[in-house]
Amino acid sequence: MVDNPLWVALIVGGVLMFVTLTGMAYMTWFERKVLARFQDRLGPTRTGPFGLMQPLADAVKLLGKEDLVPAAADRVVFLLAPIVIFVTAIVGVSVIPFGGAISIFGFELNLFAADVNVGALVILALGSVGVYGIVLGAFASANRFSLLGGLRAAAQVISYEVVLGLSLVGIFMLAGSLSLREILVAQQDDLIFNLFGLSISLPNWYILSQPIAFVVYLIAAVAETNRAPFDLPEAESELVAGFHTEYSGFRFSLYFLGEYINMIVISLFASTLFLGGTDGPGAASVWGLGVVYLLAKTVMFLFFYLWLRATLPRFRFDQLMGIAWKVLLPVALLNILFTAFVRLIANDEITIPAWVWIVAAVVLAGVLVLTSLNDRANRPRPSAQAGD
């Protein structure tokens, strides 16, 4: 573990928090601009150049609104719940490594607030605690729509938490560590292929060795942050506004900000795990280029979020849960199995005789044929459906 002294960690953490909050504010601007482009509009243009002052105007508006508490609400829980989601969201930034040691004004300091040796799990744990903000707020509102939204959020986040965690196990196996800094360092090696005498050298980013995990992670991350097309807990066409129906003013904005910070943290996390984080051409030699690379990758993920929102219709809730348990979970488990297998063979820790390969291939083919036949047999006939 590499550590900063406590006061340095506090300063770095404070700067990171400030940067994240600013980034979150401009994330709302970015979302409005991008969505507007998707819909052939201009988005905010009046407040400052390109509408850049829009987040400020929004903040003033939200702060000026009345903070209502419903008469039937569980008052203390109602007031505390939005703070939970906001705090858990922003703490996640503290374990993201923005780079190694640099020197500013003669001080040596590391560009992360804390190098926890289970950093990746810390982010997962914060996500699972953050759901209490939604569930408790929904419960305390004493409103049926809020309650339904809270129930959906609880079920959704528990399910996708499992998928999200399992999709990362392959990376942990390859890197041999749960520390985000060590995962970052492991990705700075070169991945060398020898194809037909040609030696191709690629960066050892885990998107190349774990492509299936990457896709599973992307889907699960969207569901984990309650974003479209998985924003069932706040589906406005069914549940008014879902879990935050009764919230107004600054407490509503805490939910709102929490969601955006969650998106940023999950995107930073994804860039660090799959896209090499601060790694890139020239990142080691040029001062500050690593951070630029990391932020560029993060913005790419954020754009992907917005792209999804502008493109896809909302899922039905049973479909959402079905994807998690019936598709993503088995795929993630198979990915773990496969990764472990390949790693054992690549490290020459086991050697497998030829007949095992043949038996395995036959069994696999048999299973595939049987499942496809079974699917065909289970498909409902048109005549049986007519009566329903």
* List of residues contacting another protein (CB under 8 A): 74, 77, 116-118, 121-122, 124-125, 127-129, 131-132, 135-136, 138-139, 147, 150-151, 154-155, 157-158, 161, 165, 178, 381, 383-384, 386-388
CB 144, min distance to another protein, A: 11
- For 202, phi and psi rounded to 5 degrees? -120, 155
CB 133, min distance to another protein, A: 12
Using the minimum distance from each CB to another protein, give the nearer residue, 300 or 340.
340
Using the minimum distance from each CB to another protein, give the nearer residue, 192 or 337.
337
Using the minimum distance from each CB to another protein, give the nearer residue, 8 or 155.
155
Please say whether the beta carbons of 170 and 336 come within 8 A: yes
CB 178, min distance to another protein, A: 6
Which amino acid makes up residue 382? P
| Two tokens, residue 95 | 């374990």
How many C-beta neighbours within 10 Å does residue 329 have? Answer: 19
CB 1, min distance to another protein, A: 8
CB 243, min distance to another protein, A: 11
Using the minimum distance from each CB to another protein, give the nearer residue, 283 or 332.
332
Q: Is 223 helix (H, G, I), strand (E, B) or coil?
A: helix
Angle between helices 249-274 and 119-140 (to 10 degrees): 160
Q: Is 4 helix (H, G, I), strand (E, B) or coil?
A: coil
Using the minimum distance from each CB to another protein, give the nearer residue, 325 or 338.
325
What residue has token string 């939204």? 149
CB 114, min distance to another protein, A: 11
Radius of gyration of the chain (CA): 24
Range list of H helices, the chain: 6-38, 54-64, 75-91, 119-140, 144-175, 180-186, 206-209, 211-224, 236-239, 249-274, 289-311, 317-322, 329-346, 354-378, 382-386
Using the minimum distance from each CB to another protein, give the nearer residue, 164 or 302.
164
Please say whether the beta carbons of 77 and 84 come within 8 A: no
CB 168, min distance to another protein, A: 12
Using the minimum distance from each CB to another protein, give the nearer residue, 136 or 228.
136
In order of 209, 226, 286, the CA distances from 204 in angstroms are 8, 31, 20
Using the minimum distance from each CB to another protein, give the nearer residue, 285 or 385.
385
In order of 205, 215, 271, 284, 341, the CA distances from 192 in angstroms are 12, 23, 21, 20, 20
CB 192, min distance to another protein, A: 26
d(CA 184, CA 175): 9
CB 102, min distance to another protein, A: 26
Using the minimum distance from each CB to another protein, give the nearer residue, 117 or 371.
117
